[in-house]
Homo-oligomer: A and B are copies of this chain.
């Protein structure tokens, strides 16, 4: 593995999962692998789990993790080419990438979708310029369209708890007060399909995701029908892809509550966090023994460490 943003960067997902469980059992087995290696963690946006888990994963592998809130602690970054830089952006992404690539052996980047310009976001502009100009492996720590370390942690969690070889995994849209990117549902869809699960996506009309990511999943607009027989419920809000970045409605009948969970096959509940309680999911569901959200977040260390180990071994 070199760059990491998509399940397509994984040659053999089964083998990667096997490695993940080995690292979960023995997190310090490769504690000298990253010796003399620096991991840059660049944050254009807020982060709790990604920030802490990736730092820890890098340290577990013996790397030196350097965290950098680029916009706040550094300079505002220009991503357009050919412009006269006489505004508020003091540094061009080409130099930022080139320089950070000389300081770091691996760079993780969090850079959310702006949700204003779909073409810009779906070109993964920031990630791509770093890939092009940094000269070192680039890992998405949630970029405009994907959140692969989250999705891999989700799959690890499902593998840990599944009771059948091919569980029914239902990703459901849920309401939220603000416009959120599609990165998490995009990645979850492509990873869950790649993992071989029966994947159903349920959402109100207008919330269809980009088909590049949902190929192989069944779309079911009737939430109840989707939930029937589900082994895992994966709740998430996202803004519209079609009417790009719009919140079309906030229908709280879509909030996952006990009644919704009763429609399922005693499903386990998943969410990437942070979660808006009583918008996305009721207190009763997230506080129930069927909620795996804390274990799922704990698996972020495993996910990050497995990916970083793969990359380190390829250097």
Contacts and interface: CB of A to CB of B under 8 A. Distances in A.
A248 interface: no
A276 B84 CA distance: 8
A66 interface: yes
A86 interface: yes
Given A73-B43, A95-B293, A177-B86, A81 B283 contact: yes
Nearest to A135: B294
Interface stretch (A4-12, A47-55, A112-120, A137-145): A47-55
Contacts of A51: 68, 73-74
Interface residues of A, number: 61
A96 interface: yes
A179 interface: no
Nearest to A57: B103
Determine the main DSSP class of A at the interface with B.
mixed
Interface string A273-288: 1111111000100110
A278 B85 contact: yes
A15 interface: no
Given A48-B74, A69-B73, 5 more contacts: A46-B74, A52-B68, A52-B104, A56-B64, A84-B277
Closest 4 A/B residue pairs (Cβ): A91-B274, A102-B298, A48-B74, A85-B276
20 contacts: A40-B52, A47-B73, A47-B74, A48-B96, A48-B99, A48-B100, A52-B68, A56-B64, A85-B277, A90-B274, A91-B274, A91-B275, A94-B287, A95-B275, A96-B274, A98-B297, A99-B273, A99-B297, A102-B294, A103-B301
Interface of A: 27-28, 36, 38, 40, 43, 46-49, 51-53, 55-56, 59, 64, 66, 68-70, 72-75, 78, 81-87, 90-92, 94-96, 98-100, 102-104, 177, 273-279, 283, 286-287, 293-294, 297-298, 301
